[in-house]
Every structure is written in C-alpha cells, then in structure tokens.
Structure 1
Amino acid sequence: MSGFDVNQVRKDFPILDQEVRGRPLVYLDSAATAQKPQAVIDALVRFYQHDNANVHRGVHVLSERATEAYEGARETVRRFINARDVKEVVFVRGTTEAINLVAQTYGRKHIGAGDEVLITQMEHHANIVPWRMLCEQTGAVLKVIPVDDRGELVLDAVDALLTERTRILAVTHVSNALGTVAPVKELTRRAHAKGIPVLVDGAQAVTHFPVDVQDLGCDFYAFSGHKMFGPTGIGVLYGRKERLDAMPPYQGGGDMILSVTMEKVTYNRVPYRFEAGTPNLEGAVGLAAAIRYLEALGMENVAAHDRELLAYATQALESVPGLRMVGTAREKSGVLSFMLADIHPHDVGTILDREGICIRTGHHCAQPVMQHFKVPATSRASLALYNTREDVDALVRGLHKVLEVFQ
C-alpha cells in the first residue's frame, strides 16, 4: 500500500473540490498537465507579494531575495534528480525547449551529413521533430527503434541500430501515449559501450517514480514543471557538466555573457550560458515548491500509489464490453490508452465530459504510435497521486453510458 492518505492529499488540490456540468470533477488528464497543490499556489503568491525582482544583477534587497530563491530552486532540482552539481541544472521553458536546446547546440556541433540520430517509435513529437529538423539541416539520418504490439521497445533491434555513425540516442523514459516504461538504464549502458551519448525525455517519469540521473547514467535528462504539479513555462535540462561545458550557447542576450564589445562576446559559464534573458523566476520558485511537496509525500510512496491504482484501473477497464487497451507493456506507469468498440475517441471524450470526467482524446502528439497500432486516435486516462479508485469507478460508469448512447 502507498504510504499516504490519498483522500487527505486531494484536499491539498483546491481545483479538485468542484462540480462541472453538475457533476463532481473527475480529473484524469494529468499526463497533459497536472493540477497544483496549495503549497505551489502559495509559493507563487508569496514570491509576487514579497520577493519579486530580477535576479543576478541587482544589489538591492529584493533582487538578492529573488536570486536566492531562484538559485535555491536549482539546488532543490539537483537534489531531486541526484545530479552531481547545480551547474548541471539548466532552467528552460519545458521538456520541448530542453530537447531543442540539445539538438541545436550539441547536435549542430557534433552531427553532420551521413551521421545518425537514433530515437524510438514511441516518442512524443517533442523528441521527434527537433531531431528531424536537425537531420534536415545537417544531412544526418534519423533511425528508429521499433515497438511491438504490446508497446514495448524491440530491444533485439537496438544493438544493430547503434552503429559507428550514431551520434546520439534520444529516448522517452515513459511513453505519454502508452504508459510504457523504457529500460533507460540498459539502453544507456548499450549506447555508452559504443561511445554514444543519451538524452532522456523524462516528462512523464519524474511525476510517478524516483529518478536518479547518476544511476541512469544518461548524458541529458529533460522534464517539465507543469507535469509534476508545478507551474507551466518552467522546465529543466539536466546535462552532465562535461557535456554542457563543450556546448555553444542556444540563445543570445543578457546574463548568458561575461563581457560584450562590438568586436567580441565572451560567454558565461554553465548553466547561465543557456539561460539568456530574464528567466521564469516565479516558475522556478513554484517548481521548487512542487518538488518539496513530492519529497514530503515520498517518491517511493508516490510510485506505490501509481502501481496500485494502475493495476486496479487496468482490471476495471478491461471489464468494459468492447474496450481494447492500446499499450499493454509489462512495465507501465500512469497511462491507460484505449479504444471503445467502434466509437471515435472524440465522441467518448465528449460524452464523458458531460459526466464531469476529464480525459484526453486524440493522437497525444505521438502520431507514429497511432500509425503503428493502426488507429487514428485513442482515449487516454492518465493517473496522478490525487486520483482514487472512486475516480476509476466513475470512469467505468461513464464508459458504460457512452456505450448506451451508441447502442
């Protein structure tokens, strides 16, 4: 059993205490964005009311407080993912920007015509499109590790795809469309054996179970604040310091420089080299508050709750007539994608909305996954630490109502 009282946890999230369309809200769309605990809301309000100022440059007291809060958030992130050094924590807008940053700095410097970028078939578009763009810019080749009909990576194909021309492996930790947990540590071991760096899209992982970047061994790890109960517009790129030190800047502007003349620019050290302009100060403060909230619950407890509720929800959904799960990997986290009879997922989502139930329908920014399973879209219920068995039961009742409508 998980080590926290989920009903008590729900009280920390004020948005959940409401009715929509005359029904109690059932929020099952946390893979798109998670709700925010009062602790995060309070941290944002407190920052704006007492500490708001720009960071790093000011000598007045508010700037000093804001800088302390911002850099304190960097240390909080470092601790949460067990990075070696705060210099390995770069604040960005989210996972998407983090991956683009690596593609356009490390990638443009190290990847050329005829080189290869290896990704997987179950990536979010954020871990496909930046690499496709890089390949178009450089003449490199994009290669793909396939998935099988369970939604698991075909590991037998990996060693043959990691060639002497492979310059980076980019892989999701948890598929947002399938819930599949990728064997990131094993993939990193195989890639590093051939001298190939690894980037991990951790957007769907950090909210569900402990992540230790040193244990994983990856070179880069990206995630977003809004998926893990923090604000939107803030995210993190972890990069091993030796990798970041060797990368050119991503954007130019204030604070990413040491000196500027009309003849020469000297760039700042990492991580500031990659944080041009005024950063999302309150976003970093809110992200730190979200991390402290998770740490207070205990990530092992969060992971246990995720496993228990996912098992219950999987069994409950499989009892619904005509429902077919899309993605049945042996190791999953937090996501249930499905087709219901021959009903279009958008219709499923619309009818559930009338019952106060929020799910996601569509291709989930993972169109190659949909193409593999030969479906235009799926219905996706995604779970978080505030969801309960009662939420799942409400979903099942709602799906029976969908079937009644289409009988």
Structure 2
Amino acid sequence: MYQHSAPAELKNFFITPTRTLLLVFSPASSARQTGGKPEQNELIELWPTGTVRRRQQIPTHLHPIWVDPQGTIYLAQFRNINETQSVPQPHLTEKRLENVLYRLDSDGVLTDVPLWFEKNPFHDPTHYHFISNQMVYDPKHGLFWFLGKTELFAWHPQHGIVFNLAASGFPASSLSALYQLFIDHTGAIWLGTQNGFLLLTVERNHFQRYFYSLDEDKVQPKFSTRGMAKMGNWLWINVDGGRMMNLQTGQIRTVEFEGYAPVIQGHDHRIWTILPDSLLQIDPSTRAIRTFPLNSSQASTSYCWSLWQDQGHNFWMGFDEGLAYFNLKQKRTYSFTGYNQYRELAKNRVNGFFPDASANGIWVAASSGLYLLDTLRGITARFSS
C-alpha cells in the first residue's frame, strides 16, 4: 500500500515490463506554483511491494508512454490550446520533428528524441498546430504511433516512418477526425474516429522495392518488369531497357535497347531476350549484344510474351497468337504446327513455359487454358475452367 504524502491529483499511472508501477501526480490547487512559472508534476516509481524505487519532478505536459527493460522512461508531450508551456513547443522541419518525444534516463536526465523521416508525413507542415496530439508505444512491433486530428503514422528509431495512413491508400480524407488509439495484446491497432472504429494489423514487410522513388516528380512510369534472370550476384531485369542489378551492393548497370520482353538465362550462361524482329544474346560481363534475325512475319506482327530454351537448339517463343521456335544451329524461325486438336491455341496468347519432368512435358500457360507440350509430338493435353 502506498499513500502520497502531500495533497495531489493522480494524473497517470503505468505498469512497466519489470512490474513496477509509475505514478504521475499533479500538485493540488493550493500547492501549485505561482508567479507565471510552469508547474511540475511528480513522477514516482513503486516496487511491487509498494516501496518507492525513485521519484522525480517532470514537466506537466509530459506523460509516460513506455518504459524499456533498462528502466528508461519515454514520455510524450500532450498540450491543449492556450496552456502555459512547461517544455518547448514541438518544432517541425522538413526531415524531423522535435520536442514531442522525450527520454528520461535512470540517472534523471531528460532529453529530446527527434523523430526523423525521409518524407514529411504532415499534410500541411507549415501551418500544423500540435494541439491534443497523442503518442502511443507499440511494444509488440517496437513502434511509436503519432496520432493527430488527421494524421496517423508509426515511427521506428532505426527505420523512421514505417506506416503512414495518408500514404497507405486508405481514403483518410473521408474521416472527419481521429480521436483515440489503442493497441491490444495481439498488436492490433484500434483507431477511434468520428466516423467509427478502424482496425489495423501491422506485419513486417518482407519485400524490398527497387527502381522506386518517393519523389513523385522522379517516378518513371515505364518501370514495369517483363522478365528477370539471376546470374550469380547479378539480377537481369527487362524494364524500359536491359538492366543488371547487383543484389549485394545495389549497383546498377544498363544495356541500351528498347523493348519490354521476356528474358532467360541460356545454357551458354548468356542472357537471352527478344525484340520484335530479333533474338538477342547478351554477354553479362561485357554487355555486348549479338543479334539473331527472326525473319518471321509472326514475330514482327505479334508481341512475344514468353521465352524458353529446350535441351536442343531451339528457343521457344509465346506470342499474342500461338507459338514459334527459333533453331539456333540453323539460325531459322519455324512456325509451330503441332497444335493437333487444340487449334484454338494458335489464336491465343501464350504467357509462359514451365518444364515438368513428372508430366513428361512443358506446361504452356495461355489465355485459353493450360496446355501440355511435347516438343516432338506437339500439344498433347489441355486443362481449362
């Protein structure tokens, strides 16, 4: 049992990971400071037995939101309009926000923890007023959540902003106001708004983005990927041309040619891709290009969506309408004629080739169904919904 020695109002309490109890007391009206000086609250930490572990004066506008296992207390600033400030007002610049989150070390030193970010999460940074904002700590994910009237974002000390409601695609403008944030024991985020409740789940992003820019003015719309092939530490990507990216260093190399086309690694350990009138062999070490003319009306008038090399000398090509193959030894293109009873494939797009030894053939994915190809007997089966 703990009894406070002086008249005071209990403003806040918090149970720490080590099962101690944090209490924040505000002086009673008769005990408050006068003369225009900001008053101080008293922070007291109690052991489970009720004995005092530590006590300290803290600014009235700071409220505990988290205590780490080492005993460091994190406090967030909360203020209403026209209040005398006990700490500096929040200061927002293009890349950081100061005087909102604080750290109180076990030795009693109070320091500001700036929130840094690559892109400013505030819709109107110049005119934003930090009135009645909240911060909540998410121990499951190690995130500090900032909640304003129209802003919600999660900040990580090492990674910066990892979630921003305004940038998530959710129609945040349809919400009149954001009021309360609660994190349950599962780590789910409950957001109270004037329009009702939102439930958010936070999961680690296992994906990395390449050829991506946060600056909308620098975004290139032609970065759709048509083909990829991995060679050692290098990944070849066909986007608006050929590009090689080192997966360890992030280094980018380019090969100048136009075309969005499939790409494969050939049996010769070269990159193979296709243009409307040619098959290209690219040496990944020198980026030298060797051209093999297709001399095919089908190749020149129909887009190639897929490419595959069999165990012989043939490169198989899937077009908007059917199949063809290029014999590398003869340097000649042949139109495929082995459709057998599945003639509709000749008029449908071929999206991919997938060898399957257990099926004794190659699965051909097309817009008209899934087919099984035997390179000697032709199309032997079709599966479609």
Q: TM-score range by the shorter chain?
A: under 0.3
> Normalized per residue, which structure has more helix?
1
TM-score, normalising length from structure 2?
Answer: 0.20
Structure with more contact order per residue of length (Cα contacts < 8 Å, sep ≥ 6):
1
Q: Please identify the structure whose Cα radius of gyration is greater.
A: 2
Question: Normalised by the size of structure 1, how large is the TM-score?
Answer: 0.19
